[in-house]
Chain A
Amino acid sequence: MNLTEIRSQRLGDRYYRYQHSSGLTMLLCPKPEFSSAYALFGAEVGSIDTTFKTSKDGDFVTVPAGIAHYLEHKLFESEDGDAFARYAKTGASANAYTSFDKTCYLFSCSENFKESIEILLDFVTHPYFTEETVRKEQGIIGQEIKMYDDNPDWRVLFNLLEALYQNNPVRVDIAGTVESIAQIDADLLYRCYNTFYNLNNMVLAVAGNFEIDTVIEAADRILKPAENLSIEAKVPDEPREVGEHRVEIKLPVAMPMFNIGFKELPGSKRENALGQVLDEILLEIIAGEASPLYRRLYDAGLINSTFGTESFTGRDYCAALFSGESRDPDRVYEELCAEIERIQREGVDAAAFARCKKAIYGRYIRMLSYVDDIASAMLQAHFSNFELYELLDVIADCEIETLNARLRDNFAREYSALSVVAPA
C-alpha cells in the first residue's frame, strides 16, 4: 500500500494520502479513540460552474443556474431505489451539500462503516436519471428555493454578492431560480455529471473510527478506472469594480439586517484559501469583540450580539464580510470604512496582532478535534492545493507586515458594498 503520511509536529496528529488506481485521491485520518466516523466524497463542481467542457468535447456548454445542486439531489436516486433507503439498513446519517465551488456527499456513522462506505462510493459513481425522475424533483427543489427566498440572512448575503460581483456566477443563488431549474433535463444532468464527476478530479476524505484497509478494499471493489480528462471551465472576466455600492430590499424582519463586503483581489486557489486565515486574523483585529470599533458600535447601540465577520473565499473569488443587525446600517458602514482607513494609516496594533493571532490559532486547533471538521478541512485543503496542517503554520508564522500589506491592497471603500434588508 502506497500511503503518504502527512504529520503535524505541533499536534502530534497525522493523516494519510492514498492514490487509488481508479484515479481517486483518498485522505484518511483514522482516529480509533472516537466512536464515529465521518466520510465525505466530493467533486469540484459548484454553482459557479455554468460554462464548461472536457478535453474530449468540441464546444463549451452553458447550463442553467442551479444545475450542480439539482444533480446533487438526483444522484441519490438509482435504478434500484434511493440512497437513503440503502443507508437506512446501515444506520448511517447521510446528507449532501452543494456550495459555490464544490459538491459533497457525506455520512456519519458509529456502526456498519464498511457497508456505508460502499453505498457512498457506489451511488455517487452510478448516476441514473430519467425525464420523469428529473421532473419530480422540481416541486421539491422549488420549495427549497422558496424557503431560502423567505430567509433574510440568505437574501442579505446574495444581494451583497450581486452588488459586489458583476459577472462571476458567485452572484447567483446556489439552487438557481424556479425558472432556471425548469430548463434542466436528464441530458444536461448527464453532461454535467460526465464532466465533473471524474474520479481523477474527486476526493474521498474520511476521519474517525475506521480502518484504512476497509476503505481501500471497498474502492477496489466498486470504482472503475476513470479516463483522465482535463476540465475547462470558462470563468467570466470579473472587473475589480463592484456593480453597486448599496442595495436594499424589504422583508418581514424586526430590525434592518446588513452585510458589508470588501471585494478583494483573488489569486490562485491556494492563495485564496491560505489568505482566508490571514483575513480571519485581520477581521478579528478590525472588528472582533476586543476591538475598539466593536466597542464603539456596541456602546452606541449600532450593533448587537448578532454582529460577526467572515472571510468569504473560493476558487476565483475572495471577499471580507461584516454582518449583523442595526437600526442604522449606513452608519455602521461609514464607521467601518473609517476604522479600516485609520488602521491603514497607522498600521496594525502590535498587541492586538499578537492576541488575535493566538485566538485564531486556538480556534483552528479546537476544530481539528472533531471528526466531521477534520474530514471537511482535509477535503477543502486538497481542493485548494495545500496540506491541512499548513494552516497552523501560516497562522503561527504570520507577521504583522503581511497583514498590513493585505489590508492596504484589499480593503478599499471603492471596492465595497452595503446590502440591507429593511423591515417591510
Chain B
Amino acid sequence: MSNKMVRRQLCDGVYWNAITDAKFKANRISCNLILPLDAETVTDTAVVPFLLRRRFRDCPDFTRLNERLCELYGASLDADVRKHGAYQILNLSIQTLDDRYTMDGELLTNKCAELAAGLLLDPYFVDGVFDEQDFELERRSLVDTIESEINDKRSYAISRCQSVLFEGEPFAIKKYGTKERAEAMTRQSATEAYHRAVRDAAVEILFIGCGDGEGAAKIFADRFSRLKRSPIAHREASTKAKAERVTEKTDRMDVSQSKLVMGFRIGELESQEEKNAAKLMAALYGGTPFSRLFLNVREKYSLCYYCAARLDKATGTMLVDSGVEAANKQKAQDEILNQLDVVRNGEFTDEELDNTILALTSALGSVTDTLGGMEGWYLDQILSGSSQSPEENARQISSLTREQVMEAAGKVTLDTVYFLTSREENAHESN
C-alpha cells in the first residue's frame, strides 16, 4: 500500500506519472495542459477542451464518439478547465473498468489511451480550424457557464470575494475568462489557442488505477513526440505578504440567506513545513466539526449552518465563509475574528491541537482509497514542485507544534469582507 508515484519524462515537457494499486477495479488517465493564466488568452483557451470533447479526426461524429464510450463499458470522458494559483489547466480525463472485469475479456485501457490521445492531439478541423457549428455551440455554452456562476450562491459569493481580494494580481483572472471575450472570439482565435496550448503547455499525464499503464504511456509518447514543443517552465507566482487595508464589498440579490465571505492573506509559504503549519492552523480554526468556528459561530451562537475556513496555498490566502441572517452579519464577523485571535494567542488546548492533527492524518490516510483522491493529491504535488505521498505528509503534520500553529495564525491579515444579501434595503442593518 505504498502508492508511490513513478514519474518520468515522455518527451519535451511531457511527463507521465503512474500510481498503481491492485485494489481498484478501474483505471483513470488524466491529461493536464498547464498554462500561465493570461487575461488576453484565457477565454479562447477555455473553450478548447469543450471543442476537443466533441469529436476528433478518427471519430468525426459526436454521437459515434459517445457510442464508443458506451462500448468501453461506460467510460467517462470529461473535459474541463481547472485553475491552480496563477495557472490555467486544460483537463481531459478518461476512466473505465480494468480489462480484468469485462464480460468477455476486452482490452479497454489502451483503447481509452488511444481515444484520449486522439482527442487531444488530432482534432477535427475543417480547413485548418475548428468546425463552425461545434464552435458556435461551445462558445455559447461557455458564455452560459460564465453567466451561470450566479446559480450557486455559496460559490458565487466566494468567487466575488476572490475577485476583490486579488484585484490587480494574476489570481484574479477567472478560469473560463470573461463573457465579453467569449462573445467576441472566433474559431480562428480558438484554433490558435489550441495550437498554443499543445505547443507551450507543461503537460502532466496521470495514470491511476490497477492496470498496466505501459501501453498507454507508449501511445502518448508516440503522439507527443511528433509535435514541435516549447514548453513553459514552472514558476511560482508571488503573493502579497499582508493586507494593506480592509476592503468591504456588498452585493444585493433576491436571496433568503445572506453569505458572508472573509478573505485573509497569509503570504508566501516557502517551506513544506510552513505549508503544513498553515494547513493545520486553518483546520484548527475552521476545518472540522470541532473547530473554533464550528463550535462557536454555529454551535454556541446558532448563527449559521456552515462556517468554514479553507486555505489556498497557491495564492497564500485563507477564506472563511458562512451563510447567515443579514441581521447577524456583524455578530458572525466579530466572532470569526475573535476566534482567529484565540488561535493567534494560543488560547486553544493541547487536546484541540492533537485532535486536529489526528483528523488531518486520518483524512490523509483515505486519500489513496479513490482514484479521484489520488489524482487531486498528486496533481497538487506536481504543481507545487513536490512528490510527497499522503503518508509522508501525515508524518510531517504529526510533528508540528503549537508554536508553529500560532506563528502561522500570526501571519494572517484580513483583506476583504464580502457580503451577499437580500434586496430588502437596510431592513436588518441597524442591528
Residue positions of A touching B, CB distance < 8 A? 10-11, 31, 33-36, 82, 84-85, 87-94, 108-112, 136-141, 143-144, 146-147, 149-153, 208, 251-255, 257, 284, 288-292, 294-295, 298-299, 301, 304-305, 325, 355-356, 358-363, 365-366, 368-371, 396, 424
Are A140 and B70 closer than 8 Å at their CB atoms?
no
Q: Is the CB of B144 within 8 A of A255?
A: yes
- Other contacts beyond A143-B257, A151-B152, A252-B254: 8, CB < 8 A: A35-B365, A87-B290, A91-B362, A92-B362, A111-B358, A251-B254, A254-B147, A290-B69
If A85-B290, A91-B361 touch, whether A147 touches B257 (CB-CB below 8 Å) is yes
Smallest CB gap from A137: residue in B: B302
Residues of B within 8 A of A85 (CB): 290
- Assess whether A139 is in contact with B290, with CB atoms less than 8 Å apart: no
CB distance from B100 to the nearest CB of A (A): 9
| Across-interface contacts of A358 in B (CB, < 8 A) | 70-71, 73-74, 103
Instruction: Give the residues in chain B near A146, CB-CB below 8 Å.
Output: 256-257, 323
Let me know if B164 is at the binding interface, CB within 8 A: no
Known: A108-B366, A366-B26, A371-B369. A139 touches B302 (CB 8 A): yes
Q: Which residues of A contact B429 (CB under 8 A)?
A: none
A366 (CB) vs chain B CBs: closest residue: B26
B208-260: which residues lie under 8 A (CB-CB) from chain A? 253-257
B148 touches A255 (CB 8 A): yes
B: contact size bracket: 35 or more
Q: Is the CB of A31 within 8 A of B148?
A: no
Q: Kindly report which residue of chain B lies nearest to residue A108, judged by CB atoms.
A: B366
Given contacts A110-B366, A255-B147, A295-B62, contact A149 B256 (CB under 8 A): yes
B411 within 8 A of A: no
Contact with A along B22-60 (1 / 0, CB 8 A): 111110000000000000000000000010000000000
How distant is B27 from chain A, measured CB to nearest CB, in Å?
Answer: 10
From 347 to 375 in chain B, residues with beta carbon under 8 angstroms from any chain A beta carbon are: 351, 355, 358-359, 361-366, 368-370
B422: nearest residue on chain A (CB-CB)?
A150
Chain A residues near B299 (CB-CB < 8 A)? 82, 140
CB distance from B34 to the nearest CB of A (A): 23
Which residues of the partner chain A approach B24 to less than 8 Å between Cβ atoms?
369
**Chain A hits for B150, CB < 8 A:** 252-254
A-B contact pairs, 8 of them (CB 8 A): A87-B290, A93-B359, A252-B150, A294-B66, A295-B63, A355-B67, A358-B74, A359-B73
B431 within 8 A of A: no
Given contacts A290-B69, A295-B62, A254 and B75 within 8 Å (CB-CB):
no
What separation, in Å, do the CA atoms of A120 and B118 have in the docked complex? Answer: 49
Chain B residues in 8 Å Cβ range of A33: 1, 21-23
Q: What chain A residues lie within 8 Å of B366 (beta carbons)? A: 35-36, 93, 108-110
**Cα-based distance from A89 to B106 in the complex (angstroms):** 48
In angstroms, Cα B143 to Cα A254, docked, is: 10
Q: Smallest distance from the beta carbon of B145 to chain A beta carbons, Å?
A: 8
Q: Which of A147, A294, A424 contacts B323 (CB 8 A)?
A: A147
A94 — which chain B residues lie within 8 A by C-beta?
289
B81 to chain A, nearest CB (A): 13
Chain B residues with Cβ under 8 A from A141's Cβ? 305
Q: Is B101 an interface residue (CB 8 A)?
A: yes
B303 interface hit (Cβ, 8 Å)? yes
Within the assembled complex, what's the spacing in Å between the Cα atoms of A139 and B66?
A: 48
Cβ of B140 within 8 Å of any chain A Cβ, yes or no, is yes
> Are A149 and B257 in contact, with the CB atoms below 8 A?
yes
Are B254 and A288 closer than 8 Å at their CB atoms? no
Whether a CB of chain A sits under 8 angstroms from the CB of B399 is no
B271 contacts the other chain (Cβ, under 8 Å)? no
Q: Mark B316-357, 1 if CB is under 8 A from A, else 0.
A: 000000011100000000000000000000000001000100
Inter-chain CA distance A289–B148, complex, in Å, is 22
Q: Using CB atoms and an 8 Å cutoff, list the residues of chain B in contact with chain A.
A: 1, 21-26, 50, 62-63, 66-67, 69-75, 95-97, 101, 103, 133, 137, 140-141, 144-145, 147-154, 253-257, 288-290, 294, 298-299, 302-306, 323-325, 351, 355, 358-359, 361-366, 368-370
Q: Are the C-beta atoms of B101 and A11 separated by less than 8 Å?
A: yes
Inter-subunit contact A304/B141 (CB<8 Å): yes
- CB neighbours (8 Å) of A356 from chain B are 70
Q: Are B66 and A301 in contact, with the CB atoms below 8 A? A: no
Determine whether the beta carbon of B290 is less than 8 Å from that of A88: yes
Asked if residues A147 and B362 are in contact (CB atoms below 8 Å), the reply is no
Contact of A34 among B23, B97, B255, B306 (CB under 8 A): B23
Check B289 against A84 for contact (C-beta < 8 Å).
Answer: yes
Let me know if A90 and B69 touch, CB within 8 A.
no
In the complex formed, the residue of A with least CB distance to B21 is: A33
CB distance from B19 to the nearest CB of A (A): 14
Q: B71 contacts which of A147, A355, A366 (Cβ < 8 Å)?
A: A355
Q: A88-B355, A147-B305 are in contact. Are A140 and B298 (CB under 8 A)?
A: yes
Closest to A251 in B: B254
Instruction: Tell which of B75, B141, B153, B365 touches A362, judged by Cβ atoms closer than 8 Å.
Output: B75
One of A111, A138, A143, A369 near B361 (C-beta < 8 A): A111
Give CA–CA (A82, B149) in the complex, Å: 37
> Does B358 contact A90, Cβ atoms closer than 8 Å?
yes
Chain A residue nearest to B290 (CB atoms) is A88
- C-alpha gap A150/B103 in the complex (Å): 45
A88 engages B359 (CB within 8 Å): yes
Partner of B23, one of A136, A138, A363, A369: A369
For B1, list chain A residues within 8 Å (CB).
Answer: 33, 35
Residues of A within 8 A of B256 (CB): 146, 149-150
How far apart sit A385 and B350, CA to CA, in the bound complex (Å)?
A: 48
Q: Within the complex, which residue of B70, B144, B289 is in contact with A288, where a contact is CB–CB below 8 Å?
A: B70
**Is B355 touching A89 in the complex (CB atoms < 8 A)?**
yes
Alpha-carbon separation in the docked complex, A74 to B72 (Å): 46
Q: What distance in Å separates the Cβ of A115 from its nearest Cβ neighbour in chain B? A: 11
User: Which of A93, A136, A292, A360 interacts with B362 by CB under 8 Å?
Assistant: A93
Whole-angstrom CA separation of A160 from B303 in the bound complex: 31
Docked CA distance A365–B182 (Å): 40
Per the bound structure, the CA–CA distance linking A372 and B323 in Å amounts to 28
Nearest-CB residue, chain A, relative to B136: A301
Residues of A within 8 A of B149 (CB): 254
| Chain B residue with Cβ nearest A107 | B362
- The answer to whether B74 and A144 have CB atoms under 8 Å apart is no
User: In the assembled complex, which residues on chain A have CB atoms less than 8 Å from the CB atom of B294?
Assistant: 84
Contact A292 B63 (CB under 8 A): yes
Report which of B50, B253, B305, B363 forms a contact with A143, defined as CB distance below 8 A: B305
Residues from chain B with a CB closer than 8 A to the CB of A304 are 141, 144-145
Chain B residues contacting A371 (CB-CB under 8 Å) are: 369
| CB-based contact B302/A150 at 8 Å | no
Q: Is the CB of B74 within 8 A of A362?
A: yes
